[in-house]
Amino acid sequence: MKWVTRKRIRVNRTATAWLIRRFVDPQAEFLFVEPEQVARVQEELGAKGFDAPEATYPHLDARGRCSFEALVDEHGAGDAALQALARIVHCADIRDAPQTEPIAAGLRAISRGFPLAAKDDDEALAKASFLYDSLYASLKETV
Residue 143 has pLDDT above 90, yes or no: no
> What pLDDT, on the 0 to 100 scale, is given for residue 24?
97
Rounded CA separation 28/84 (Å): 24
Residue 99 has pLDDT above 90, yes or no: no
Nearby residues of 40 by Cβ (< 8 Å), 6 or more positions away: none
Length reported for the chain:
143
Q: Higher pLDDT residue, 118 or 99?
A: 118
State pTM to two decimals.
0.95
49-63 confidence digits (pLDDT tens): 999 999 999 999 999
How far are the Cα atoms of 44, 49, 62, 130 from residue 125, in angstroms, in the given order? 24, 16, 27, 9
Contact 2, 102 (CB under 8 A): no
Residue 96 has pLDDT above 90, yes or no: no
